[in-house]
Amino acid sequence: MSTLLHQPSPAQRARDAYRRRQTRFSVLVAAASTAAVGTLLAVSVTGAPGWERVRQTFLDPQIARDALPRVLTGLWLNLRLLVCCAIGALLLGLLIAVLRTLRGPVFFPVRALAAGYTYTFRGLPLIIVLYLFAFGVPGLRVQGTPSVLVLGALALILTYAGYLAEVFRAGIESVHPSQLAAARSLGLSYRQAMRHVVLPQAVRRVAPPLLNDVVALQKDVGLISLAGPIDAVRAAQLASAQTFNYTPYIVAGVLFVLLAIPLIAVTDQVTLRAARRQSGG
């Protein structure tokens, strides 16, 4: 109510007017510099001696239209893979992180295994893991070996769980020990204290970096094309091999970016909310 009735003093009115002038000036400068940089980029790219050839091989609208349905079909595979791999990697990562926090000599082997796992899979290039799983495992000729698609997904899950486990562990360690002491003093077992007190706080704190890793996973799902399944990247490769034109790759790239945008937006939103909560808003 009082804000409605409040009459700003001449000093405040002068301050407001000054700020408005400053804002208008900043907007003008930003618009002018953006236009200048944009023009410079456009001129230097389109004015390059090879521009016509590049435009034909990378940006052919007809080829893009022809390739789109096939690339989209492939992208549907990427999307399903992303969902499965993200869920699998998050669960496995959480499990590894919890195993690494166990104390006591009884759990030494479990701890050592979990630590060894995160060291190995964070160090191993994803492509090598993918080759090992997609080509090495079927080579064993064991009965009931799953399809290359499932094996490739396993490679992605194992690699990303290594990273996610470390993010989860950082979250678990950021919860003050007094929280665990308070939970234990109420009679909760270690498992109950972890489940109801420590993990909920830990996961909330590391939600932004976790989602960031999921965005990275979203791109790397495309690497499964190296093992054979026809995903968006593989579909683009096939299309470009037929037309001797790289435009299908651009189509796939644009689709990947479009797929990432909602995920990135959610990540930003969660990060913002976490920051606001930390500042006690």
Candidate segments 26-34, 148-156, 189-197, 238-246, binder of other proteins by CB under 8 A = 189-197
The answer to whether residue 204 forms part of the interface with other proteins (CB under 8 A) is yes
The answer to whether residue 185 forms part of the interface with other proteins (CB under 8 A) is yes
Number of residues that bind other proteins (CB under 8 A): 18
The answer to whether residue 188 forms part of the interface with other proteins (CB under 8 A) is yes
Q: Rank residues 199 and 223 by Cβ distance to other proteins and give the closer one.
A: 199
The answer to whether residue 73 forms part of the interface with other proteins (CB under 8 A) is no
Q: How many CB atoms lie within 10 A of CB 176?
A: 11
Residue 94 CB, shortest distance to other proteins, in Å, is 17
Collapsed DSSP state (helix, strand, coil) of residue 92? helix
Contacts with other proteins, 89-128, as mask; x by CB under 8 A:
----------------------------------------
Q: How many CB atoms lie within 10 A of CB 178?
A: 9
Q: Which of 71, 97, 161, 183 binds other proteins (CB under 8 A)?
A: 183
DSSP string, 164-223: HHHHHHHHHHHS-HHHHHHHHHTT--HHHHIIIIIHHHHHHHHHHHHHHHHHHHHHHGGG
Burial class (CB in 10 A: 0-12, 13-18, 19+), 172: buried
Q: Rank residues 110 and 186 by Cβ distance to other proteins and give the closer one.
A: 186
**Could you tell me the two tokens for 55?**
């435009």
Alpha carbon distance 13, 16 (integer Å): 5
Residue 270 CB, shortest distance to other proteins, in Å, is 15
Burial class (CB in 10 A: 0-12, 13-18, 19+), 277: exposed
Residue 171 CB, shortest distance to other proteins, in Å, is 12
Q: Which of 32, 40, 45, 186 binds other proteins (CB under 8 A)?
A: 186
Q: Which of 41, 196, 216, 258 binds other proteins (CB under 8 A)?
A: 196
The answer to whether residue 189 forms part of the interface with other proteins (CB under 8 A) is yes
Question: Which 221-280 residues touch other proteins, going by CB under 8 A?
Answer: 280
Four-point Cα dihedral 72, 76, 78, 82, nearest 10:
140
Residue 197 CB, shortest distance to other proteins, in Å, is 5
Please answer whether residues 175 and 199 qualify as being in contact, where contact means their C-beta atoms are separated by less than 8 angstroms: no
Residues that bind other proteins (CB under 8 A): 178-179, 181-189, 192, 196-197, 200-201, 204, 280
